[in-house]
Amino acid sequence: MLALGRLLELTLTGREPSEAIQLCADGCRLQWKTEGVLEIDPPSGRDTGLDLLLSAGIHGDETAPVELLERLLHDIASCRLRPAVRLLLVLGNPAALRRGERFVGYDLNRLFGGGEPSVSGPEALRAVELELQAELFFNRPQRRRLHYDLHAAIRGSQIEQFALHPCSAQPPTREQLARLQAGGMQAVLLQNGSSATFSAFTGRRLAAEAFTLELGQAHPFGANTATDLGRLEVLLRALIEGREPPVAGDLHQLQLFRVAREVIRHSDAFRFYLDDGVENFTALVPGSLLAEDAGGRRWRVEEEGARLVFPNPKVRNGLRAGLIVVPVALDDACA
């Protein structure tokens, strides 16, 4: 196998490849761009006009998606998978991946697009570096741009695999939702406010079709046997080879939600009135007190069908401690 086919090994050991550019036997060109970032260009006669960015490891403890990208790259380097698209593979946070921790100093996925201008350190520098790589990759006109940012959640979820659509000028299309369903997503959460995630940056700034995919619970490397990414892997292989499968079908099995409110931790007096082990998409009892904070701030459940996503009462003051989401009809969600 070509040395550049071992991107994860290079990243975890902190080594640069001896050759920045290598050619596969089928004519694909692999180019090491910077630590954890590899661009793959198909032969010109096989290029279908799609620019596909696949990122994982934005948080260093979310390893199942990283292992998935490594499998895809191994098969590309060995000519078992023959790309017909331009492909950028990104392992987002090398320092955190080496430690097996969520982040080193600050959550990288809150820093894109100038999300926290006062924050400095390795994650802030990495956010700028990844923005530049994405801009360089998506700089060709009249090509389709697609970005899937692959994650795993801190805690368990009553809906194991789901996608988040960052707030943008365009709502998702039925075709986009059908593709996500074909890849194993059971729900899509539509965000309606600005965010500083990687997918929000590529969607808003670079006009990419961008989604964050949450793919089960985070585990260390080698401990992901219970995480079934089979459907997603089939979809990604088809996209890479330019043979995207038909996505028409009934979307009524795909659950759709929108963000109703954010729960923000304002002070050390913040209190969540749910068990520490509460799962994502836990149903909330109408009228119940969810959380409170100093200054008389209270979050009482007012919405019908409300659920809680990303509960994390231990975040820093000023950050989101959870999302209250509600169901939305398909016709109200799609373009």
The enclosing domain of 285 has a CATH number of: 2.40.50.630
**Same domain for 179 and 113:** yes
Q: Is residue 73 part of a domain?
A: yes
Instruction: Report yes or no: 106 and 119 within 8 Å, Cβ to Cβ.
Output: yes
Count of other CB atoms within 10 angstroms of residue 140: 11
Residues of the chain with pLDDT > 90: what percent? 80
Does the pLDDT value for residue 118 go beyond 80?
Answer: no
Look at residues 205, 224, 240 and tell me which one is the last residue of a structural domain.
240
Q: Residues marked as binding for Zn(2+)?
A: 59, 62, 151
Return all residues near 61 (Cβ < 8 A) that are at least 6 apart.
Answer: 96, 100, 101, 102, 152, 218, 220
**Same domain for 293 and 190:** no
**Same domain for 92 and 212:** yes
**Same domain for 133 and 225:** yes
Over residues 41-80, the pLDDT tens digits come to 999 899 999 999 999 999 999 999 999 999 999 999 999 9
pLDDT given for residue 138 in this prediction: 98
Does the pLDDT value for residue 288 go beyond 90?
Answer: yes
Does the pLDDT value for residue 216 go beyond 80?
Answer: yes
pTM, 2 dp: 0.95
Mean confidence (pLDDT) of the chain: 93
**Same domain for 318 and 171:** no
Q: Is residue 255 part of a domain?
A: no
Q: Residues marked as binding?
A: 59, 62, 151
Q: Is residue 270 part of a domain?
A: yes
**Catalytic residue chosen out of the listed positions 123, 214, 233, 304:** 214
Return all residues near 163 (Cβ < 8 A) that are at least 6 apart.
Answer: 180, 185, 187, 188, 189, 211, 212, 213, 214
Instruction: Report yes or no: 56 and 216 within 8 Å, Cβ to Cβ.
Output: no
Identify the band that residue 248 occupies on the pLDDT scale cut at 50, 70 and 90. low
Residues of the chain with pLDDT > 70: what percent? 98
Q: Is residue 254 part of a domain?
A: no
Does the pLDDT value for residue 18 go beyond 80?
Answer: yes
Does the pLDDT value for residue 249 go beyond 80?
Answer: no
Over residues 262-272, the pLDDT tens digits come to 999 999 999 99
pLDDT given for residue 155 in this prediction: 86
The amino acid at 172 = P
Structural domain of 22? 3-240
Does the pLDDT value for residue 246 go beyond 80?
Answer: no
Q: State how far the Cα of 333 lies from the Cα of 102, in Å rounded to an integer.
A: 32
Q: Is residue 92 part of a domain?
A: yes
* 102 or 246, which is more confident: 102
**Same domain for 48 and 176:** yes
Does the pLDDT value for residue 209 go beyond 80?
Answer: yes
Q: Is residue 98 part of a domain?
A: yes
Average pLDDT over every residue of 10-37 = 95
**Same domain for 196 and 131:** yes
Over residues 250-266, the pLDDT tens digits come to 887 899 999 999 999 99
**Same domain for 328 and 219:** no
pLDDT given for residue 250 in this prediction: 81
pLDDT given for residue 165 in this prediction: 96
Q: Is residue 113 part of a domain?
A: yes
Total domains in the fold of the chain = 2
In the residue annotation, 302 being an active-site residue is answered as: no
The amino acid at 132 = L
